[in-house]
Structure 1
């Protein structure tokens, strides 16, 4: 029952991550593989086939010769046809919009696609590796559409007579007659229906509710709710495994005629449901797919495939860049090992002959270029060696929960709760330029002046702070853009919902309003930084961040309509100066979002905030961290993920450039260690704290803002 990756393959951290004397940068590594902005490595097994941006689902052609891949990223949506024998993309067909849904009709070469914000289903004829557009089935008349109309998963009834479509934001299932192309029924279901799975008898179907953490069973004819089974946060993919599971010779036969396996992307777990002889559904248990027993959330199991010939489950673990393998012959599955694949796997398919296809949403290092990893049976065979590679690709280790390696005497403790002279943190998140765009002309940092969009007279406070305190010139944002970057900045991860929806917004196909904290399905695994702080008994104050996040509202400063970055800065200044006058306790954690879009206003607001903090009574015990959440794609001579970041404190080194490899999660880990907070995911648990930017002896000289901020 033990997992070999825990019992035999647990390895120490990569040497490259522990070396500080040699500059390590994001990008291709000399020995192979690619170092990501997350500090994880992708080095996929098998053959890699390039496709388009953020491929998120796949379907095997009826003859088994082709893999159809739905690309739904920032680029215009398309469907790639991959010839499995040749191992290459042989055609790419545009589609007006698409999201997740991709299915062939039973015993047919007709392919159906969930049309995303177009609120339609698109029909294609498939032959010889090529798709020809056929009909369009609108779920809502174009004149009556709103942002709530969004077509996701598609699934045929087993007899092929009816097509069922998940209407993601209407929390309903539309039933379409494919003969007429018309919607004949609508059934209410759980919030944010993700996947539809039919019982083989066709009498009922199952829906995974992304927002409610449930699996629902409906009557196929009437939509009547038969079962609502509470499962876990963010259930996503489901697979039906028919037949009774095996039992030992001295045990009675299993009471379950079939099982359903379900991934829950806000956990590290795979869940198992049993179908009884009475046709009831029961929760059987779970399989922990984490790299180790203490690992925080972050595996993001999100897609499944079942190999009946081997009784094996293959589970795409999106935030581990791996596929987990489990033996499911018996009632309780046993995790066997892990296979390294590309960045953020989103779909898994069993291939004829026993091979495996894995769709990677971000390929080998770019959100604009996904890949398909094709693995033959021979590629799959060395599972123990594959598991070892997955561990080598990961910077996470349980020992980091007990010792973050900051070193003796550093103001940043090595473990939450240890003494530190820093008690107040101001966390300023901005959007959205690369390092070179801001500091390309700054010396001695590693910048390219030719790519600089700003000079010191444009952003005088950024440059003055970089000169007087610590500039991080090897810092990378974890997010691809502002949509996911904001969640990365406060949750140390972007949830599956955000990862799969924000590219459509970046591509201009749907609004941006699902990423500001109000959307129930977007909630990250361990909540946000403010939840972490409040649970630890700390006081929190927020200025301008995630204003629609309901649990943050009690801690958020009220701001007038149309508030700017300067408005938020003045709110903070007024409240901090007020607490100085009254002697009221200052909040331990302050979050500030400067995202008004005017770089000069951002700069002035930044200078005003830092100057006020440095002249307040909290300054001797304060640290200010400034970083970018993300933004439009920019230019940088190292990586488009490299971003400007600053550390400001009496304990920060003065007039220093720190070239240690850091990222968004590094700032969060540093804040957590200073405030005595737990890591939220495996990303911040594994991240290197900003220890090299700090010194034991303070210099409490206040900061004088540039540019006439007063």
Structure 2
């Protein structure tokens, strides 16, 4: 089997030109969520940039996952599957205009037009239906519905991809909850056969020549082969991790399979059922995960393959005129998180899952009235106030890109490299300074031997540290100030204040993945919106479902492979047991330490930690990497009988202070560092951006009493710990991130920390029965963020400021720098 790297063949001139481009930038001040000017660069909150090619058609909602061209080629239907409105947009391609928005309720991925008749078939997500529309005079009209089962949670089916066999009047549908293939009769619109599969399925395609249907095993690293004459599975082909979208040549001989977790496309010979070639679509050879190769399309002559790299914000282009001997042609820049690519004549169509940029949020949780324009959780369907929620505000776009000439493709490729902060050089050698305790290379020695990584839940910078005049804070939004969080303030004053730190995640579903792997897989990114918007599906994250996990695992897996000792306190735990195998050895987790349970105080968790830690100190067996979960700053809102939000946060703060005090007075302190962050910021009030969050770094090697304004992120903190521990980056994101070496100095100050006492009653409980209490009673606190964050934040605000107070709208900064590159022609 041949393995082809995209980047090796592009040529060193791309890097030289990209470097030259970087010297010619003109700063602008603002960017709207629309198509930018030619060569305009939009910098995203994660440090990556966009220079989207072609024209942009705004879509009506977020996370478009798939599209289907009408038989006459005049229209394209796009299915929007995000946290907001789930619907189908009908686009007039000649006018490049959205002409219809079809409400669906629930939708997920599956979408196809018939070739003989203008019927559109669309997956109804967890409603477990397939809806058939007819295209008539510029409109999609609901014709009828095929039912696979009762809606979630009665039946857990969840149809995903589908395909038509019009000749035999069959519709084939695959699913990701009961893991099955359904063969359906198009005349009766009923399923006639169900075949069980051994893993979650993503989509299916028919061979145009052979009586074969190919099914991508999203959770199984294989392609199943189903014989449509025999009506049974007859074979399978092993591919790479997270196979999803597929394309097949017109002669039926070549099947191209995108592998999202591997940055690759498998080229399969349909006759021999063997992979003849694996195409690496990443920008650099041997890059870590992070390209998220998730869609493929062939040109009409089958000679060119287009590959959508969701997390690289680009298309990779290959010459596949000789399968098995393919060659790279270049890259094309797209919008943010491209999820689907299709060919329309002499144009490429690309759906961008997150649109064109991060942007301001002027209509956040406004308490003045109106109605929500997007769904939250089922527990929150009665609310009637306007807002812009981070999970649904980034409306997708459709890019219409003329198929580029060779010279244009070269220019596009240079832009893509310039947009990408990840390089192989950064992966191998990080930024830093001589003598700093944070190494610049994996394996270099650090005086820090023991790392403690503390995860908390869901607070923004202004909510906690907005009252500190030394930082960029807004005290009007500070509801958990010094009187509630004396230790957070003291740690920021005695060590380093970080006022420009941003979480990479939107919510806890992807937040714990980002915090523990520096990446969220396509399964996580594409599934959490359904769960969070109350459209069915279980909470399949935090290690609880294998298909959601990165190929090489989480930071504990990297420690295990490197021979670095580690121990876990509460993270990735469910009912007292670890959710992932790497933690299940009792030497790797503290069985007495509680996981998520807001009825248990964090000061109790800290006491359990102290007892366990002391026994390890006495045995001289303290692990070099330790994860500690302190979740109670999440709060239980105003739920009657639960601890008040102030008590929860004060308890969390006291636990953190005591933990730092205990470690800092231990024998290992002189070789230790403590890193603290929130898994996500969950849309709380912050005058800069709702991704901005609190973070703390504590060590004898910290520059004491300093303020650091450097832009850091979750990935930055991970990269710093990896360098200390001698671990490689886990993804392209932490490899590209700036390590936090600017917080450290070569000389140590071994003075210990003295925890501040709580100034308020940490045992206080909610006793008032008001509107906030009634609302809180409807929330589900059984899982992290199993409730809508904006309403919870408003409840928390009112609990502190008064029931009649008005919470400031969450702010979503443009967070971009638009730059114009000089034309190199």
Q: TM-score, normalised by structure 1?
A: 0.92
Distance in 2 between the 1:110 and 1:311 partners?
29
1:190 equivalent to 2:198? Answer: yes
Select between 473-482 and 410-419 the one with higher mean Cα deviation.
473-482
Question: Do the aligned partners of 2:462 and 2:687 also contact (CA within 8 Å) in 1?
Answer: yes
Instruction: Quote the residue 1:418 is aligned against.
Output: 444
Instruction: Quote the residue 1:359 is aligned against.
Output: 351
Listed as ranges, the matches of 1:690-701 within 5 Å are 690-701=740-751
Instruction: Quote the residue 2:799 is aligned against.
Output: none
Instruction: Quote the residue 1:557 is aligned against.
Output: 590
> Secondary structure of the equivalent of 1:489?
helix
Instruction: Quote the residue 2:278 is aligned against.
Output: 286
Instruction: Quote the residue 1:334 is aligned against.
Output: 327
Aligned counterpart in structure 1 of residue 13 of structure 2, from 8, 14, 39 = 8
Structure 2 gaps, min length 5: 359-390, 574-578, 636-648, 763-825
Q: What displacement does 1:295 show?
A: 2.1
Aligned counterpart in structure 1 of residue 421 of structure 2, from 375, 388, 395 = 395
Listed as ranges, the matches of 1:672-683 within 5 Å are 672-683=722-733
Listed as ranges, the matches of 1:50-65 within 5 Å are 50-51=58-59, 52-65=61-74
Q: What displacement does 1:69 show?
A: 0.9
Distance in 2 between the 1:135 and 1:572 partners?
59
Runs of 4+ in 1 over 6 A off after TM superposition: 12-18, 24-31
Q: What displacement does 1:222 show?
A: 4.7
Instruction: Quote the residue 1:603 is aligned against.
Output: 653
Listed as ranges, the matches of 1:494-573 within 5 Å are 494-547=520-573, 548-554=579-585, 555-558=588-591, 559=593, 562=597, 563-573=600-610
Instruction: Quote the residue 1:212 is aligned against.
Output: 220
Distance in 2 between the 1:25 and 1:696 partners?
40
Question: Do the aligned partners of 1:298 and 1:493 also contact (CA within 8 Å) in 2?
Answer: yes
Q: What displacement does 1:35 show?
A: 1.7
Aligned counterpart in structure 2 of residue 140 of structure 1, from 144, 149, 153 = 149
Q: What displacement does 1:595 show?
A: 2.6
User: Structure 1 residues 378, 524: CA separation in 2 closer, same or farther (over 3 Å shift)?
Assistant: closer
- Equivalenced residues, count: 688
> Secondary structure of the equivalent of 1:370?
strand
Instruction: Quote the residue 1:433 is aligned against.
Output: 459
Structure 1 gaps, min length 5: 244-256
Q: What displacement does 1:221 show?
A: 4.5
Aligned counterpart in structure 1 of residue 626 of structure 2, from 590, 596, 602 = 590
Question: Do the aligned partners of 2:250 and 2:302 also contact (CA within 8 Å) in 1?
Answer: no
> Secondary structure of the equivalent of 1:9?
helix
Distance in 2 between the 1:635 and 1:79 partners?
33
Root-mean-square deviation (CA, aligned residues, Å) is: 2.7
Aligned counterpart in structure 2 of residue 152 of structure 1, from 150, 160, 166 = 160
Distance in 2 between the 1:454 and 1:544 partners?
24
Instruction: Quote the residue 1:348 is aligned against.
Output: 341
1:78 equivalent to 2:101? Answer: no
User: Structure 1 residues 340, 690: CA separation in 2 closer, same or farther (over 3 Å shift)?
Assistant: same
Deviations 1:424-464 (A, max 9, x none): 11111222122223322222111223333321112222222
Question: Do the aligned partners of 1:517 and 1:550 also contact (CA within 8 Å) in 2?
Answer: no
Distance in 2 between the 1:452 and 1:619 partners?
32
1:578 equivalent to 2:584? Answer: no
Question: Do the aligned partners of 1:565 and 1:602 also contact (CA within 8 Å) in 2?
Answer: yes
Q: What displacement does 1:202 show?
A: 6.2
Distance in 2 between the 1:143 and 1:374 partners?
36
> Secondary structure of the equivalent of 1:590?
strand
Instruction: Quote the residue 2:269 is aligned against.
Output: 274
Distance in 1 between the 2:20 and 2:418 partners?
10
Q: What displacement does 1:645 show?
A: 1.2
User: Structure 1 residues 17, 67: CA separation in 2 closer, same or farther (over 3 Å shift)?
Assistant: same
Instruction: Quote the residue 1:632 is aligned against.
Output: 682
Deviations 1:557-609 (A, max 9, x none): 114584553443222121112223x2332011011222342233322222222
> Secondary structure of the equivalent of 2:116?
coil
Q: What displacement does 1:409 show?
A: 0.9
User: Structure 1 residues 130, 450: CA separation in 2 closer, same or farther (over 3 Å shift)?
Assistant: farther
1:443 equivalent to 2:469? Answer: yes
Distance in 2 between the 1:449 and 1:86 partners?
49
Q: What displacement does 1:282 show?
A: 1.4
Deviations 1:154-175 (A, max 9, x none): 2112426111111211111112
Distance in 1 between the 2:337 and 2:309 partners?
8
Q: What displacement does 1:513 show?
A: 2.1
Question: Do the aligned partners of 2:450 and 2:673 also contact (CA within 8 Å) in 1?
Answer: yes
Distance in 1 between the 2:153 and 2:312 partners?
41
Instruction: Quote the residue 2:789 is aligned against.
Output: none
User: Structure 1 residues 577, 7: CA separation in 2 closer, same or farther (over 3 Å shift)?
Assistant: same
Distance in 2 between the 1:491 and 1:601 partners?
28
Instruction: Quote the residue 2:365 is aligned against.
Output: none
Select between 125-134 and 400-409 the one with higher mean Cα deviation.
125-134
Instruction: Quote the residue 2:381 is aligned against.
Output: none
Distance in 2 between the 1:63 and 1:624 partners?
61
> Secondary structure of the equivalent of 2:676?
strand
User: Structure 1 residues 339, 143: CA separation in 2 closer, same or farther (over 3 Å shift)?
Assistant: closer
Question: Do the aligned partners of 1:158 and 1:200 also contact (CA within 8 Å) in 2?
Answer: no
Instruction: Quote the residue 1:246 is aligned against.
Output: none
Instruction: Quote the residue 1:247 is aligned against.
Output: none
Listed as ranges, the matches of 1:625-704 within 5 Å are 625-704=675-754
User: Structure 1 residues 32, 612: CA separation in 2 closer, same or farther (over 3 Å shift)?
Assistant: farther
Highest relative contact order (Cα 8 Å, sep 6+), 1 or 2? 2
Deviations 1:57-105 (A, max 9, x none): 1111222122211111110311112222222322211112111101113
Q: What displacement does 1:324 show?
A: 0.4
Question: Do the aligned partners of 1:265 and 1:300 also contact (CA within 8 Å) in 2?
Answer: yes
Distance in 1 between the 2:225 and 2:554 partners?
32
Listed as ranges, the matches of 1:90-129 within 5 Å are 90-129=99-138
Distance in 2 between the 1:538 and 1:339 partners?
41
Distance in 2 between the 1:651 and 1:644 partners?
20
Deviations 1:117-153 (A, max 9, x none): 111112222234332223222211349724x321111
Instruction: Quote the residue 1:228 is aligned against.
Output: 236
Deviations 1:463-501 (A, max 9, x none): 221111112211111112111111011111101100110
> Secondary structure of the equivalent of 1:117?
helix
Deviations 1:9-61 (A, max 9, x none): 1259979999xxx9x99999999332222211122111122211111111112
Instruction: Quote the residue 1:250 is aligned against.
Output: none
Question: Do the aligned partners of 1:502 and 1:512 also contact (CA within 8 Å) in 2?
Answer: no
> Secondary structure of the equivalent of 1:154?
strand
Question: Do the aligned partners of 1:451 and 1:636 also contact (CA within 8 Å) in 2?
Answer: yes
Distance in 1 between the 2:332 and 2:425 partners?
23
Instruction: Quote the residue 1:251 is aligned against.
Output: none
> Secondary structure of the equivalent of 2:666?
coil
